[in-house]
Each structure stands twice: as C-alpha cells, then as structure tokens.
Structure 1
Amino acid sequence: MRSLIVVVALLVLVPLFKFCAERPTMTIVPIYAFSLPLASVVELNVPLPPPFNTLSSLLGAFLLAAVFVHITVFERARVPSPPVGLWCLFMAWVSLTALWAPSSGKAMQGLMIAVPLVMVMIAFSLLNWSRRDIDVLRLAIVISGLVVGAYALYLLVSGAGLPSHGVNARFSVTSDAEDTDPNILAASLLLPMAMALEMFVHTRITWWSRRTSRWIGGCALILTLFAIIATGSRGGLLGSFAAIVLTLYFAGRSARGRQVARRSASSLVTLLVGFALVVGVIGLLSPNAVQNVVGSDPIQRLTRPDSSGRNDIWKAGYLACERHCDHGIGIGNFVAAYNETFPFSGATGNIGLNRPAHNTYLQIAVETGFVGLALLLVALASEWAALSMAPAREIMPAQRAALAALLIAEVFLTAIWFKFFWLLIAVDRAIEAAPEQESVASESPGPDGLPPTLAAPVMRRAGVVET
C-alpha cells in the first residue's frame, strides 16, 4: 500500500514540478508569495524541526528547486544586480560572526533560517520577468492580504473572538501564541496593503479593466488595513500610515501624476463613503458587531500610551551594544547578551529575561557589530536607489513606500529573518528585470529584420508610416 502511495505521488508531483519549472514566475513564485501570511503557521507532519516543518518552508524549497531546474534546463539565468552582491556580502559577515558566538547552537540555528531566505531572494534575481509576470505576483500578494483581512473581519463581526495572546486578545491566523506574533503578522501585511492602494489609484492589472483593478484594490486595502488594526500592533499601524502616505506620494510623482492625484482624491472619498455605509449596515443588522470591534482588545491597546516594556528592553540592549557592538556577539545570540546586561539596566518593569530586541537595528548591531549594521544599511540604501530609477518608479511605485514602511516597523520589531522581509527584497529583483525584458522585446527583429526602433524611421522615410 505504501509503495502504491509513493508511485501515485510521483505520478502527480513530477508533472507538476516540470510545469512549475518551465514557468516559475507564473506558478510557484506567486503561490509562495500568496501563502506567506497563512502558510507560515501551517505545520506539516514531516521529520523536520521548526520552523522548517511549515507549509511555507516546503513551498520555499519547492521554489528553489524549480528555479534551479529552470535556469539549467529551460532558460539562461540573469546576471544578479549589484544589490544582490551587497546582500551576499552582508550575509557573509553574518555567517562569520557564528565563529565566535558563545552559543554555537543558537548561531547555527540562526544561519539555517537566514541562508534559505537569502537564497530565495537570489532565486528571484536569476529569473527573467515580464510585466505580466509582475502583475501575477502583485495580484497574489494583494489577494493574500484580502484573505487575511476577511478572516479578521469574520472573527470580530461574528462574535467568534480573537485569539488570546497573553492577557490580550489580538488577531492572528492561529491561536497558539508560540507559533505566531500579531506584530509580525501586521508587518507582513504592509506590502499587500501598499500594493492594494497602488492598484486602487494607479496600476491596472494587465488582463483586467481599470475599474475591476480598482474594485479589487479598494476591497483589499480596506480589509488588509482592518487586519493590521486588529493585530493591535502600534508599529504595524505606524508603518501602514507611512505606506499609505508614501504610496500616494510616489504614485503622484509618476508619469500619470496629475491623473493619479485626481483619482486618488475621488477614490478615497468614495472608499470612505462606502466604508461608512458598510459599517452602518452592519450596525443596523447586528448592533453588537460594531460594539465588539470598538471595544476589542486591539483597539484598546492601540490607544494606551505605554511602550509594552520596549523601553526597558532597549535599555538592556544599549548596554549589550556597549559590550558587543565592536564585532558582534554572533548571530542568534542577542538573548544571551540581553541576559548579561538586563540586571544592570535599571529596568522599571518586570519584563524578565530571554527577551528579543524588539528593534531589528539593535539586534543586528549587537549580534553582528557595527560592521554588520553598516553592511545592512548599505544594502538597504542600494535597494532604495534601485527602486528610485525611472523604470521601477513606473512599474510599482508602491514598492518604495512598502520598503520605507517596513523599515519604520522594524524599529519596533525583530523581524529581519522572516520570509515577508525577504519577499519584499525579492520583489525588487523582479522589478529590476522587467524593464530589461521589455527593452529586449522591443528590440526583437521586425518583419524586415530590423528592430522596431530602427524599422519605424526607415518605413516613415519610405512613406509607409504616417508621421
């Protein structure tokens, strides 16, 4: 019986893998991007330790294998861009810090998580992307936020209640607080929210009308923002505000800037009116629903003026930096440095030991030293420079906004070694490749053997093309 199951599985998986390897940008890549907010907490019954036993990790491994076969069998790989080299340099230094880490086990565990994430980003950089491929990827990411937001709305409106995290009930896709962090979920939704807003005011999906794209973008924007609010994450809410403002700003500076500005104003008014009508209808049909939302723990948490213990953690982290920021204590060992210095930090709250940094930049500085922090900032600056170039600005103006929003949220989170962070960096690689593909296509020989850019002037001089 077991042999029969293996044979059937091979008969299904081999053709499926071949199909994905032939065109990964239209198959496994968007599936992987769509799955991240949900599949990262879906544990599988496989003989692998956490976090490698999740559905998203399995899809990531499938993606890497499909891309490898694609570039060796079906299509030549692209030459990676300079930012990829800078990320590899950063990763090389991070790996080097494992040599002097006090806990080699923690360091190796950190590397086992970090290296595959960087490999996925490199895989994106090796693929050839078209504008249609980017539209598929964009839509997959937007729909992922829409699905998560719809689930959050269902939990609150139906009265089912939000999952319990400590003493508060905050939205997450699973009720096990050890498997998910609402703050991480909020940060993972910043990219879908920015892309949804971009669809609403700027970008039309290739195979849809502008009206359809706007409707889907508007619905996804509302639901994704609702999910972020339901997490009760103040860092996520601050990042979402930055994403909205910067997306509108960068979209307004595109080639269709004036049109975008007019559409943004009218569309946002329409969106707010529609949202108010939906809230009114829900209030009439179920008076307790609105009360459940307003009185929920996430809303109450967002309005409290406390720091959730972060100030005390940062004090201990600052002392740890004074001791270790010259060359770093080693990847995965921030907690050890924190435990050393916490008794001397003068913390006023009983926040305890074994706490994460709740600040990515502080974590990187303590674990990898000022060299690692400098390499990280240089790599991020190269991403910003690449996204500021003319082709990228027009293809996806929301990408810079999402990057800025995530970097703001990282001030309150320890989230660099999460899939959603590297998905955003990987999307940059797709945007870089699309202009190259379009320019190559535009220079392909026409019916007379000349590229279109040369054939048109020749035909015009011959009187074939009207001027």
Structure 2
Amino acid sequence: MPLNPVIVALVLALLPFLGLAGLSAMRRPVVLLATYAAIVPFGSSLAVPGIGGSFGTVSTILALLISGMLVVKLLLGGDRAPELPAPLPWWMLVVVAAMLTVAWSIDTSATMGGIVVLLSLLMLYVVASLVDVRPEGLITIGTASAVSGALVGVTALVQLATGTMATEPVTGVPRFALAGGGGETGDPNITAAGLMLPLSIAVFRAVERGRSRRSRSLYSLGAGLTVTAILLTGSRGGILGLMAITGVLLLAEPARRPSPRHVLIGLLVVSALFTLTPTNVQERLQDASSTGRTDIWRIGLAACDDYCLLGSGWATFRQVHARGLLESPDRIGWVFGYDPHNVWLQMLVQAGVLALVLFTGALVVSYRALRRVPAAWRGPPMAALTALLAANIFVSNFDFKYFWLTLLYVNLSLTASGYLRNGAVQGLPRESHALVGG
C-alpha cells in the first residue's frame, strides 16, 4: 500500500516538535498535559488530513504520544505520585467490566472497536495519574483548560458574526459545534459537555478572594466566553451542567460562596448572553421535550430482560436499539441504531449490572476523595465532575476524551492536594498562597 504523501510530509514536519515534546516530557510532563487539556475541547475540528475514524484527530494522536512519553519517563525512574489516587483502580475495573463483554457481545467487531478506544483513553488516564503533579503544575493545567474554553467561546462568536455556524439538517436551527468524534461533523451536545471542565476552573478562579482583581477579571471574561459557547450550542445538557457548577459553587463550598451582589451580576450576565443568542436557539433551550430521548430510553430499558444482567457488549447499543424497533413495531422511533443518550443507560445495557455498580462506586470514591482536598482547591474538580454527570444525562460519552480528561483532573487534584495538606506552597503564585489553608 503506497504511503500518503500528505501524511509523510506532515510527519516529517512534526518530527522537530515531537523531539522537543519528548524532552519536555522528561523534564516537565505537566506541559504536555496542559497542551492536551487545551486541545480536547476543540475535538474533531482539529482533524489530521488523510486519517479517518476515532484516531484521526490531533487530540487523539497527542494523547497516544503523551502516553508513550510518560511510560518511558516512569520506567526511567521519573517522579511518581506519592500516593495512588483512590478512584484510579475503580475506573480501571469499569473498563475491565466493559472488556469482558466481548465474550458474549451481539456484535463482536463493534465491541472490539469500542474496547480499543476505551483502552487508549485508559492508558493516558493511568500513566498521567501516576505522575507526580504538584500544586503549581495543577495550576498550569487548569489555566490551559480555562484559556481553551475562552478560545472556544471566541470561535463561537466569530461563527455567529460571520453566519458560518452549522445548522441542523432537519430543524434548520443554527447550533455551534466543534467536538463530536473522530472526523465527524461536530455535535453541539458533545461540544457543550466538553466545556464543563474549562468552565468550572474559570468560574472558581474568578471568585477566589486571594486573587488579584485583574486575575479575577480575566477569569470572569473567560467564563463568560465559555458560557456563550455553551448557549450557542443550544444544548440543554450544557445548561444542566452550568446549573450544576452553580450549585456546587453556592451549596457545596460555603467558604468560597460569592456575595449576593456577585450572584446577581452573574445571573444578569448569563441572561444578557442568552438574549443575544439566535431566537431559534433560545426556543430550543426552552423546549421542555426530550427531543426523542425518552423513546430511546424506553427501548433500552425494554431490552433489559435480555441484556442488562451481563450486557449486550460494549459499543452495541445501536444494534440493541435497532432490534427493539424491529421486534416491537408499537415502540416509538423513526431512526434505527441510536446511541443511548444517557451514560448510565450506556453502562447498564452495554456492560451489565456489574459495570453499572462499578461505575457508581467509582463516582462515590471520587467524591469522597475530593472531600479530603483543601476547601480552596476542591471546587473546580468537584464542580467539573458534577457538571460532567449532569451533561451526560442526555449524552452517552464514557468513551470520549473530555470525559476521561475530567476524571484525570480529579486525580491530579488529589495528588497535588497531598502537598497542600502538608503546607507546601513553594513555587505557587504569590496570590495562591492565601488559598492553601482555605
């Protein structure tokens, strides 16, 4: 098979950068993780020419390269995390439970393909969780993520101003989208869900009282731009995520609770941004219907008698949905082969009760571990995890990079918090010293 000249030229052009990246990995792996965190929200909009499928995006290729570099670093005796993050083995077990379903899958090839994607995500999650990340490194990664969210917001505004925003084929509603799977047209709901981590970091840094006014203003601007992008996606899952972040800010972190004046300002800003969105996007955000999701969920739950004990096989819900429509014509649905559009239903039907129990256990362990993080630092990972789950009520993206990046950020926060509990503040920005004992 002849080599694609475009790919060859691209690889040759990237070789110097790969060499520099390798050196950075040996010295400061945080730089690579920060780069990855900045690229993930852009998803399939950054595709590699000539490479299709799930592995044809810059973020996926970068993830594989970073994984390899971190493995080498750890094997050569690089600094390792002082403690194994408590959620790590639980999420590994969830993937193992999904892998077991290949033995009885209703579509072995689909399950094998889905497992390959899961393992690529798990590899980066595991090796990056084993790296020693200190508080200053966590700040760098968080900054890169927050800046990325703001840049996505700028991109959304540019598309709105130039009239280049894509429209839904059926409804004709213009909805902003960047992410959505390897090489595919962007999905607005996935784009919104992928912005939960950047928004959580920006919001919590915007209200940190130990920060300078300039710093808080910049993060407030970044949060506003990210919210703008979420609103322009027209994703109600994104709105649920935004509400989850607000809930964590107001209810779970009383020490960080903003004043009533700041809450009012925030509500006014979000309301103003909402009024600036196109009318048909506003109507979609206010639509109380499930836009067909409840029909998908009914079919999935109806298949439980056959599949929910052991699972139908990872990545086979589309086949389950199609069979459900064929076997029972009275069920509602007009398209064969929908995804589950709910992460819990995805677990239950595809991987069975065991996977669902492990998934729930992993979440419980994650929240319990985050409660041990110093109060001034646990807000962003806790809000991001909560918003992730809220957004995934309407999408089933356990096998997407933004999902695992959020889980990784939780682990990195746990590792960094060990230094905070021990009173280590050397290397932190001066304005962050006051936040350590919060």
Which TM class, normalised by the smaller chain length?
0.7 to 0.9
Cross-structure match for 1:456: none
Does residue 22 (structure 1) correspond to residue 27 (structure 2)? The answer is yes
Distance 2:10 2:394 in 1: 47
Does residue 70 (structure 1) correspond to residue 73 (structure 2)? The answer is yes
Q: Secondary structure at the match of 1:169?
A: coil
Q: Secondary structure at the match of 2:334?
A: coil
Measured after TM superposition, the shift of residue 11 of structure 1 is 4.8
Distance 2:424 2:239 in 1: 42
Distance 1:436 1:335 in 2: 43
Q: 1:98 aligns with which of 80, 102, 107?
A: 102
**Pair 1:375–1:320, CA change in 2 (3 A):** same
Instruction: Indicate conservation of the 8 Å contact 1:194/1:247, yes or no.
Output: no
Cross-structure match for 2:35: 31
The answer for unaligned runs of 5 or more in structure 1 is: 280-289, 445-467
Distance 1:397 1:369 in 2: 32
Q: 2:369 aligns with which of 354, 371, 386?
A: 386
Q: Secondary structure at the match of 2:133?
A: coil
**Pair 1:268–1:217, CA change in 2 (3 A):** farther
**Pair 1:345–1:146, CA change in 2 (3 A):** farther
Q: 2:260 aligns with which of 245, 258, 265?
A: 265
**Pair 1:175–1:426, CA change in 2 (3 A):** closer
**Pair 1:184–1:203, CA change in 2 (3 A):** farther
Deviations 1:384-410 (A, max 9, x none): 11111143x332313212212221222
Matches within 5 A, 1:118-133: 118-133=122-137
Cross-structure match for 1:449: none
Distance 1:41 1:111 in 2: 24
Q: Secondary structure at the match of 1:417?
A: coil
Q: 2:352 aligns with which of 362, 369, 372?
A: 369
Q: 2:197 aligns with which of 191, 200, 214?
A: 191
Identity %: 26
Instruction: Indicate conservation of the 8 Å contact 2:153/2:229, yes or no.
Output: yes
Deviations 1:208-246 (A, max 9, x none): x52122112211111111111111111211121121121
Give aligned pairs, total: 416
Distance 1:313 1:12 in 2: 45
**Pair 1:6–1:414, CA change in 2 (3 A):** closer
Deviations 1:184-209 (A, max 9, x none): 111111121121110111276xxxx5
Cross-structure match for 1:242: 244
Measured after TM superposition, the shift of residue 139 of structure 1 is 0.8
Measured after TM superposition, the shift of residue 74 of structure 1 is 5.4
Instruction: Indicate conservation of the 8 Å contact 1:186/1:236, yes or no.
Output: yes
Cross-structure match for 2:433: none
Cross-structure match for 1:430: 412
TM-score (norm 1): 0.81
RMSD: 2.9
TM-score (norm 2): 0.86
**Pair 1:4–1:333, CA change in 2 (3 A):** closer
**Pair 1:345–1:250, CA change in 2 (3 A):** farther
Does residue 341 (structure 1) correspond to residue 343 (structure 2)? The answer is no
Q: Secondary structure at the match of 2:117?
A: helix
The answer for unaligned runs of 5 or more in structure 2 is: 427-438
Letter of the 1:380 partner, please give it.
L
Distance 1:430 1:244 in 2: 23
Does residue 303 (structure 1) correspond to residue 308 (structure 2)? The answer is no
Instruction: Indicate conservation of the 8 Å contact 1:52/1:58, yes or no.
Output: yes
Does residue 182 (structure 1) correspond to residue 193 (structure 2)? The answer is no
Deviations 1:115-162 (A, max 9, x none): 111112112211111111111111111111111112212222x24142
Measured after TM superposition, the shift of residue 435 of structure 1 is 2.7
Distance 1:428 1:355 in 2: 31
Deviations 1:306-341 (A, max 9, x none): 221112111111111221111111101111111111
Distance 2:382 2:219 in 1: 18
Cross-structure match for 2:143: 139
Cross-structure match for 1:172: 177
Deviations 1:75-129 (A, max 9, x none): 2323523321111111111111012112111011101111111112112211111
Distance 2:270 2:364 in 1: 37
